[in-house]
A and B are shown apart, each in its own frame.
Chain A
Amino acid sequence: MIFRTENLVAIGFVVLGPIIGGLIAGVDRILTARMQGRIGPPLLQPFYDLSKLFSKRIAPVNRLQVPFIVSHLIFVVLTGFLFFEGSDILLIIFVLTLAEVFLVLAAYSTGSPYAAIGAERELLLMTAYEPMIILTLVGLYQAAKSFNFYEILASTTPLILQLPGIYIGLLFILVMKLQKSPFDLATSHHAHQELVKGLTADMGGPVLGLVELAHWYESVYLYAIVFLFFSSSMLAACIGLVATFFFVILIDNVTARVKWQAALASAWIITLVAGAGNLVPFYLITRGH
């Protein structure tokens, strides 16, 4: 079997993904705390939390919940694997949708009112952010003429300059995708709020641990997509990535949760104005070569 670098990176993602994702979560919590005038937990706190979750007893609510959650994790990891393996990222992003559907179905299956509302709202958020994700990938393709992660990575012109509107749209839905305020309406990190935990209300112990793990994996390739916008220079990429990360946390801390109407309408309008407003002229200029 021929081993390409891509395969190594993809396997690296499967092995190291949780570590990077966990560290991202750790930095997130420290930064959040500092913004709120607290010192915050140690950097490795997310790992301690996760290991505690896994030390608990599995208490499923029904016979479909656990299979759906495990499927969710498997498909999130598979999406990332194929992503770093160099598969068509437009195709891969539809696989991610499938992974999300499994998570929503797990919440639906329990039938509890909190999980049901969480599931509905998560679905709404998916509807809200999906058009922008597609436009992002099409925009990246149009700039780099490829749906392959590495070929887009190798592009010599800074994509952010060609796709500023699309970057803004992506930033907007990134907040949604990472379940940050003001779009944390499906589930929040604080169980004392009116939603309880929404989507994950009926998940506990190792089951909740798997959801958290999937979330870490996901954040790695979401930030990898952000990375693509700055990939022409290593310095720019680092600055862009850090700035994006900081911005998402800042937004999380300075905004209050919105209603679903505002989430859906604002995401769709941003997608249309910034996303399509960038993509359509960009496509027309660069077409036909």
Chain B
Amino acid sequence: MTNLLLLLIGVPTAFGLVALLLKRYEIRSVVVVMAALIQAGLAVAFAASVGGSLPWQSGPAPAFLDYIILGLELTIAAAIAIIGARKRRLIPLVLALVQAALAIAGEKWTGGIESERLFVADQISLLLVVLVGLVGGLILFYSSGYMKTYTEEHPEIKDRRRVFACVMLVFLGAMYGLVVANDLRLMLLFWEMTTLASYLLIGYARTQEAQKSAFRALNLNLIGGISFSLAVILLAAKAGTVELDKLQALGKAGGASLAMVLAPAVFLALAGLVKSAQLPFTSWLLGAMVAPTPVSALLHSSTMVKAGVFLLLKLAPVLSGTMPGYLVAFVGAITFLGASFAAVSQRNAKRILALSTVSNLGLIVTCAGIGSYQLVWVAFFLILFHALAKALLFLGTGTVSVGTGSLDVEEMSGLVVSMPRVTLLMIVGISAMFIAPFGMLVSKWAAMEAFINLNSIVSPLMIVILAYGSAVTVLFWTKWLGLLVKIPDPTAPRGLLEAKVTKQEFIAEATLAILTIAACVTFPFVSAHVVEPYLLATYQQAFGLNRGNAFVTVLMVVMTVVVPGLLIFLTRKPAAFSPAYMSGRPQGPGLSFRGSKATEKRVETRNYYLTEFFEEGRILGAGSGIALLLIVIIIGTVLL
């Protein structure tokens, strides 16, 4: 199995390097699509082959690996330092040097330690492996179509698609390594690789804005990386190990052994908070939306931010019930609430999606920080459903914005007429994010029940936060949905803007939509066969939906798809349409009325954005302040 795993990490990386050498777009495109398919196949094969008896564990690391890891780490630090020096940016230069110094100085404590198990894969790792494989693969496939249009539409941006393809593939390889590494030194290496990769991808366009956002992402994630390094050194110095599973075991044992590993766990958690873009570190993910669509889709769905919550979820058994754990949960809760409030006032589609990601990650962080077995169940499904639906929405938004020439959601008004096929897929994605029977909302409902059953002092506060947050979620998604289904003129020809949609884009989006619905229908099965065994092994307690609720949710998913679908099909050819009410003489079927002297007056409507209540800067500013204070307290509790 170890060989299969090494293939899984190595193959995308190798394909990435090959892509870098191929100059012809057509050939490279074929190679990238092949790589996407092969790595997805490998991911599923690995999950299937180790899935029978989890956790799967590899043997110890070869003796020389230590030096290779150190060498590679220093190479990454050097690369970042050089980037910083060349672009005249002091902060990344300094941070990279600090990281390098920590790597060398840390050898004093970590150098002699040999880890017993280099890799460990449990159900959470495999969830990420499968998501990276399928979602990452589909995003790569999409990018082979999208980047062609992107390059044609943006002649001012230098064509660096070779580097793009290479970095995307290496990114996937690093993600696989990250989610199965048990030796934290190795995980740190992959962690820093994803940081560097996101810098390169966010800065793809090389405009001033892109550069600024890329450096912001780099700086914040380097700080996270330094926190990670400190955690590894602390763990080695205090507990004499660098292995994640041993950290978990010591933490679960409680008492003195928990006290020994709490500080390293907290520093790892901080790294996770940065990577999952929690307040006050949110700005890097919001800035990242300047990148081409496939990058946003990748960062938001299955990679990068999910690496952050993945690590937090792994730490959940350690943090559960501790003061820092509760504080981490509150950072998540504030992020959840703040980001969903801020999303109400946005018109930019990518920004709505980004804030919704931050908000959902906040909820996952809350679940992981409190870490009861029921909340871990919730976090697992939030990760699953969010990855699928958010990838779908980003890819869909990318496709739509090429058609409408804008990222403004108001420009998506009437999209159901001008891009009916893509709109249908977008509706699936949006529905999956907030509508009752679909996964995200089922997870939120389960979170509510989990908080109630928690019987903790924090429960009622979390319930109140969740109640307000989910109400606002309904508001900003339905507003968007409403624009999509608006039909200004029922007699207008359909599909006018759909000509530019490439086959690759549509196939990737349609597959994601099918996966989203499939996940919603099959999740009781996933719960019974994947999540509950994990909870039993980790917490000696399992949570699953009772049969009645599972039945109700699956029934609802089917009904939500079938009822409107069937009705729309049955009424597809009505006799005639009445004009909409205009408070005047309507002029034909479209949205216009006859004014004085028989002039035609067009009617346009715009959505509410409620900026006086939901102003982004104020909300995120206040949230950042509180979150920063909480983080200071978290560090204080473990250091003092």
- The answer to whether A and B interact is yes
How far apart are A6's CB and chain B's nearest CB, in angstroms? 11
Measured CA separation A120–B322 after assembly (Å): 44
- CB pair B571–A264 under 8 Å, yes or no, is no
Q: Which chain B residues border A59 with CB–CB below 8 Å?
A: 576, 578
- CB pair A202–B581 under 8 Å, yes or no, is yes
Query: Which residue from chain A places its CB closest to the CB of B490 in the assembled complex?
Result: A62
- CB pair A94–B436 under 8 Å, yes or no, is yes
Q: Which chain A residues border B577 with CB–CB below 8 Å?
A: 60-63
* Interface of A (DSSP majority class): helix
Q: Which chain B residues border A138 with CB–CB below 8 Å?
A: 448, 452, 463, 467
How far apart are B351's CB and chain A's nearest CB, in angstroms? 19
How far apart are A277's CB and chain B's nearest CB, in angstroms? 10
Q: Which chain A residues border B416 with CB–CB below 8 Å?
A: 64
- CB pair A101–B563 under 8 Å, yes or no, is no
Encode contact with A along B512-536: 1 for CB under 8 Å, 0 otherwise. Answer: 0000000000000000000000000
Encode contact with B along A107-130: 1 for CB under 8 Å, 0 otherwise. Answer: 011111111110110011011101
Q: Is B302 among interface residues, defined by CB-CB distance under 8 A?
A: no
Q: Which chain A residues border B467 with CB–CB below 8 Å?
A: 130-131, 134-135, 138, 271
How far apart are B413's CB and chain A's nearest CB, in angstroms? 8
Q: Which chain A residues border B436 with CB–CB below 8 Å?
A: 94-95, 97-98
- CB pair B574–A63 under 8 Å, yes or no, is yes
Query: Which residue from chain A places its CB closest to the CB of B556 in the assembled complex?
Result: A95
How far apart are B372's CB and chain A's nearest CB, in angstroms? 14
Binds B, one of A70-78, A156-164, A216-224, A234-242: A70-78
Encode contact with B along A77-112: 1 for CB under 8 Å, 0 otherwise. Answer: 010001000011011101101100110110011111
- CB pair A261–B613 under 8 Å, yes or no, is yes
Query: Which residue from chain A places its CB closest to the CB of B414 in the assembled complex?
Result: A111
Query: Which residue from chain A places its CB closest to the CB of B477 in the assembled complex?
Result: A101
Measured CA separation A127–B457 after assembly (Å): 27
Binds A, one of B16-24, B85-93, B188-196, B545-553: B545-553
Q: Is A175 among interface residues, defined by CB-CB distance under 8 A?
A: no
- CB pair B435–A111 under 8 Å, yes or no, is no
**Beyond A95-B556, A101-B435, A130-B470, 8 additional pairs, beta carbon < 8 A:** A60-B578, A61-B577, A66-B567, A90-B445, A102-B564, A115-B580, A117-B605, A124-B475
Query: Which residue from chain A places its CB closest to the CB of B560 in the assembled complex?
Result: A98
Q: Is A196 among interface residues, defined by CB-CB distance under 8 A?
A: yes
Q: Which chain A residues border B570 with CB–CB below 8 Å?
A: 67
- Listed from nearest, the 7 A-B pairs whose CB atoms lie closest are A108-B482, A67-B567, A112-B580, A130-B471, A116-B605, A98-B436, A134-B467
Binding site for A on B (CB under 8 A): 414, 416, 435-437, 441, 445, 448-449, 452, 455-457, 459-461, 463-464, 466-468, 470-472, 474-475, 478-479, 481-483, 485-488, 490, 548-549, 552-553, 556, 559-560, 563-564, 567-568, 570-572, 574, 576-583, 591, 603, 605, 607-608, 610, 612-613
- CB pair B468–A131 under 8 Å, yes or no, is yes
- CB pair A90–B568 under 8 Å, yes or no, is no
Known A63-B490, A64-B416; contact A114-B563, beta-carbon cutoff 8 A: no
Measured CA separation A102–B568 after assembly (Å): 13
How far apart are B480's CB and chain A's nearest CB, in angstroms? 10
Measured CA separation A126–B581 after assembly (Å): 24
Query: Which residue from chain B places its CB closest to the CB of A122 in the assembled complex?
Result: B478
- Within the complex, which residue of B483, B490, B563, B579 is in contact with A108, where a contact is CB–CB below 8 Å? B483
Q: Is A37 among interface residues, defined by CB-CB distance under 8 A?
A: no
Q: Which chain A residues border B452 with CB–CB below 8 Å?
A: 138, 141-142
Q: Is A15 among interface residues, defined by CB-CB distance under 8 A?
A: no
Q: Which chain A residues border B449 with CB–CB below 8 Å?
A: 90, 147
Query: Which residue from chain B places its CB closest to the CB of A121 in the assembled complex?
Result: B608
Known A67-B571, A71-B564, A196-B583; contact A104-B478, beta-carbon cutoff 8 A: yes
- CB pair B445–A91 under 8 Å, yes or no, is yes
- Within the complex, which residue of B437, B475, B603 is in contact with A123, where a contact is CB–CB below 8 Å? B475
Measured CA separation A268–B464 after assembly (Å): 11
How far apart are A43's CB and chain B's nearest CB, in angstroms? 31
Known A64-B568, A111-B605; contact A105-B579, beta-carbon cutoff 8 A: no
Query: Which residue from chain A places its CB closest to the CB of B576 in the assembled complex?
Result: A59
- Within the complex, which residue of B455, B470, B487, B610 is in contact with A287, where a contact is CB–CB below 8 Å? B455
- CB pair A280–B461 under 8 Å, yes or no, is yes
Q: Which chain A residues border B605 with CB–CB below 8 Å?
A: 111, 113, 116-117
